[in-house]
Every structure is written in structure tokens, then in C-alpha cells.
Structure 1
Amino acid sequence: MDSDSDSSTSDNEYISEESDESISDKKTEIEDDSEDEVIKAIKRECERKNNHPPVINCDDFITDICFHPVSDILAVGSILGDVIFYKYSTEENQEISRQELHTKACRDLEFSEDGKLLYTTSKDKSIMISDVESEKLIKFYENAHDCPIYCLSIIDESMFATGDDDGTIKLWDSRQKDGPIYKTKRNEDYISDIVTDEAHRYLLCSSGDGSLTTLNLEKRCVQMQSEEYDEELTCLGLFRTETKLIAGSSKGKLFIYNWNEFGLHSDAFPGPKTAINCLIPATENIVITGGEDGNIRATHLFPHRQLGIVGQHDMSVEHMDICNDGTFIASSGHNNEIKFWNIQYFEQCEKVSSKHKKHERKKDLENNLPSSKIKNVSDFFSDLT
């Protein structure tokens, strides 16, 4: 375990390990770029202490994480099929419950909108719906798919969707006694992520075969399928008041789709050449991505700019989620630890300067976001220039 990653000191280590002269030079650089709201936010955050919960070290491999939508609780899925609940705060984290749900890895877990129910799915091909408070099993779907289930997404209070390793997508209604209400298989590889809009008109499904499949939920049919890219589509997110869909890829790209135009992307943003495993929207314009190289990056979409490193793990970042009030994100990596990052300052720097001259770019990228401990950021980002 990386003991120096304790969150009570991580925000200060970025400064304390450098010389006074280096710090002075860095502050001068930040002050010179007075027009950039992001750099101002970086300066403010570097001066703050203990603004996020400490690290959670787990005994078993972490397979998913999910914040409770109402309470300060984080649910953690494990490779053993268990779900562990932690009460988190900036002072300490406390394990409050542990449920043994599945016989194999719990691959995905989601809370209902009110937080009263927990939906879980597993490599054992089952789906469970449990009462969070009483821990009683409400619904159990044994052998829900013919092969291991990869992901799950809640659509409304009764309907949810699942995707498996073989590319099959199923819709379920918890009010129905037996099987799915709809299923389709248009993909040749695993379903990596599933999202829907607030109107619940479309269901967007990304796949390891490099395509995006759109289901019409009203008609319960396949609306369209995009062209296949030569890279996996690994994760999805909605932005700009649900007028834009963003997809991360195994080659580090971000594909942007206009809403209801899911056949072909409208923009493609390159990034560091490492797989994007997960992404979450921090604001309507800023996306945070978790990479296979262990780094958590912030990217401004409109205008497009790489903002820097939010934080990092020693190994690949596999899962991220954002808490109920948007203050923290949590991330988990291959080394069985969960880290928290304070991203509240993004709300204060939504407007990012569109000026981006070549001679200014290197200086921009030398300014890390506050939780980062990378020092030679200009070298790290050299493949972007």
C-alpha cells in the first residue's frame, strides 16, 4: 500500500517537497496567468488542508464503488461478491455494514434514486435488489444472463437495464415476476456502460466492439447503432443539460455526440495515449477521467483544454463516482485502495479562457490540480503537443 497517499497530507505534499525558490517561481507563474480561473482555483486549493476524507484500504480487490444519493455513505463491491458500506467524513471513514450477496465478483452496484434500495449484479450471472436499511433481499434474478453480467443501470423506480460479457442488453421491470421485458444482441463484445436521459426516451450502451447502441425505450427497439471504431468504447456520460453524450475509449480519446445523433460523433478530443476506464461529469463543461496509467485527469470540453491531474493511484484507476452534493469524487485502483478528491472548486471556475497560444500551453500544463503529486507535468503531457 502507498502509505504516503494519506489524504490528510496529500494536498500539502505537492508544495512541501519542493524548494522555497521553486515554490516562489510556481506562484509567480500562477499570478502571471491572472485571466485563467482554473489556475486561480489551483492556487487556492493548494493552500487548503484536510478537505477530503482519508484513504480507505480494502482487504479484497475492489470491483465497483457507489455513493449513496442522500447520506454520506459509500458502497464498495468486492471480488468475493460482498458489498461493504462506509460512513465517510473529512476526519475519518468507518465501516458500518457488510453484506455477503453474490457467490462471485460483484461487478456493478447502484442505489435507487431515494437510496432505499441497492441493485447489484455479478459474475455469477445474478441480479439482486436489496433493502439498504434492513439488508433484506427484495428481488433475486438467478441466471439472469447466459454469461457474466458486466454492467447495470437504473432507469426509473421499477425499470433497469443490464449488459453482459457477450454483448447482450436486457431491460427489466421489477414489478414483473419473471424474466426481462426486452432483450437484444447487436454487439460482438462486452457492454461496458449504460446511461439514459431524464426523459427516459433513449438508452445508450457502449461496447468493447467499438460501437454505441441506442435503444428506444418507448418502442423497446434498437434505434440505431454507430459505426465501429478501432478502439473499445469504455464509459459514457451526459453533459450540457443532456444535449451532449461523451464516450471514453481504450486509446485515450473522448468522443462527443450531439443528442439524438448517436450514429457518428461530432467531435473527438485526443488525450494522453492511455485507456480511459471511467469518467464522470464534474460540471456541465468539465469531465474527469480515470486512466489505465493511474492518473485522474480533468478536461474542459467547450472550449477543449486539458486542465491537469486531479489525483493519482499507483496502478490503473478502474472506478469513480461523485458524492451526493458534488463535493468529492472517490476513485479505486488495482491496489485495493479508495481515494477521495475534493472537486468543489470546479464550480467556481466553470468559465475557462479560450485563449490557448502555443507558447502559453507549456505553462498551462505545469500547473497541476491540487491533489496531484506529479512534478514534471510538462513532460507527462508532452505527447499532447
Structure 2
Amino acid sequence: MKHIVVTVTNDLTYDQRMIRTCSTLVDEGYRVTLVGRVLEESGELIDRSFLQVRLKCNVNNGPLFYAEFNRKLLLYLGDVDFDLAVACDLDTILAVTRAAKSQGVPFIFDSHELFTEVPELDGRNLVKSVWSRIGKICIPAAARCYTVGSSIAAELSRRYGKTFEVVRNVPVLSHDGIHSWEERDAVIFYQGALNAGRGLEVLIDCMAEIDGYELVLAGEGDLSHTLRQRAQEKGLESKVQFLGRISPGQLPELTGRARLGINILEPRSKSYYYSLANKFFDYMQAGTPSINMAFPEYLSILSKDKTGITIDALSTDKMTLAIKSIIEDQGLWSRLSKNCDLAREKYCWEKEKEVLLKIYEETLRN
């Protein structure tokens, strides 16, 4: 049985993409190990069909963390026999490249984003240049490369002279019926990290102008405390609810009970501009109309499958108008929700996984 080792830097608990990927590979007959890290706040892992390993680091952010994690990952990989390794993003690729070369086996590069263009690297030219250099050294050595959307694939191919295929971050097809307007709660729902650049400050401010609805945010991040404080300072505690981190298994029910899903980003980086977020498809699977940014990937899909609307800029006025245009027009909401129902068989993991399995099968065969 071929052994595949997949590597990430998160704590494995909430990474829906990697849980789907690893489970699919196991179902196909591979032995899979997913390697990440353990954090102070990490809870117990849920038993899954693949082995889960979490490395402990003494430093958990900044350059020293990445250096320590890659050193420990390299040591771990040196003690494991495997037939294929997978580096998820640039932060694991150094160790994976060296380990794969040492064992004489191929590796795959799975890019979840345009790593060198994330907002966290704005103004940090030295750090950005280091990551770019790592990419130019390691990515050409990969047997195959893939990413989450066509726009990022084109940009990565241009930068690194390597073909990037597309495996979209879509959910498993839901066979549950879609809840009607009357069956849903008066909830505006956001799932994802509470980080800078997500437009969450604007979203909270909008609630001052929206009556009869509650904004529910599922997730945590760098702005967790700041956003809670903002809601309190503006007297919106009764309109804004923070759920904290929610397990992937709980999200579909929450999403399916909301009347509106939010998928917004500030156009402050190429990584955001070219993004195709999993929440966009999660809302679609739940039959929940969504508000999205007028970025290339969303415009392309929504021009054909009208499951939501877009806004061209983030401001309290524009966001408030967009929200009201859906929650105050039940006819529009019903049309968008019906379109979600029609589209969810097209954008589901059952179809997307065939692309993934072909990449892995061909890599191991060659």
C-alpha cells in the first residue's frame, strides 16, 4: 500500500480541505499521514481514517517558528518511509523538498493561496523576498503542482515556470433538503478567520442600520478581541454573536439555518483578489445566498450560476445596501437559493476529487 505524507503548519482540527483530501486518498486505497503542529489551545483530535501527527514547537510565530517547524518536520520525515510527500504552501516546502530528495521519491506542491502576496507580508519586503526565493528553489522540483482556482494557478505558473492544475476547495455534496425562508433564522452568517482584511469591521458597523437580524461569526483570529470590543463599543452586543471556533461537522447546520452568507475581503493583496474561498461553496451547498467581492473567480461563477451577488468595494453604505437588497426582497432570496440548489451538484467534492486522484495516481505511477 503506497504511503502518502501530507504536511501543513496548522493544528489539523479545522482544515476542511486537508480532511477531505486525506480521507479521499484513504478511500482510494492509499495509506495517509497528515502532519501539522500542536498549539497551546489545540483540543483533542477527532479519530479519522488517516494517521494524524502534530509536532510541538517552542516558538509559534515569525521566522523562528518556520525554521523550527521545518527542522522538526525534516527530522520526522527522515524517520518515516513514504512513497509521496505533499507540501501545503511554502511554509512546509523546504523540509518536504529535502526529505523527498533524500528518499528518492516525488513530492506534490498544494498551494492554498498566493503565499507571497498575503496581507501579513505587506511592507515586509525582506520576508517576502525570502519566501519568493524559497518558492523559486523548491517549486520547480515538485512532480506536480495544484491550487484552488484558475486565477492563482495562472499567476503561480507565470512566476515559477511550472504548470499549476486546479483542485477547487469545494464541500461534499449535501443530500439534505434546502431550508425555506420561513424555516431559517434571521441570521447573517460569516464563517472563517477573524483576521485583518476580511472586512469584518465594516460588517459589524452595518448592523447598526439593520433591524431584526443578528450577525453570527464562526471563527477566531488575530482580530478576535478587537472585533468583540468594537461590537461592545458601538452598542451592538445584542446584534452580533461570536461563536468562536466551530468544528467542520457543525458548520453545515449553522450555514443552512442562516438567511445570508458573507464572503468579503479587502482588495489589499493579490492573494485576496485572486481567491476562491471554500465558504463561497459552503454557502452554495446550504442553499444560502451570499454576498461576495467582485473579484475574478466570483464574477466568473456568478455570471453563470447566480447564487449570490457581488459588491465592488467595501464600505458600510455599500455593504448595508447589499445586505438589505437580499433580506428585504424575499423573491430575490428565493431565486438565489433555488440557484444554489441547482448549482451544488456542479460544485461538489464528488466531482472535484476526480481531478485530485488523477494527479496523485499519475505521480505515483511515473
- TM-score norm. by structure 1 comes to 0.25
- TM-score norm. by structure 2 comes to 0.26
Identify the structure with the greater helix proportion.
2
Identify the structure with the greater strand proportion.
1
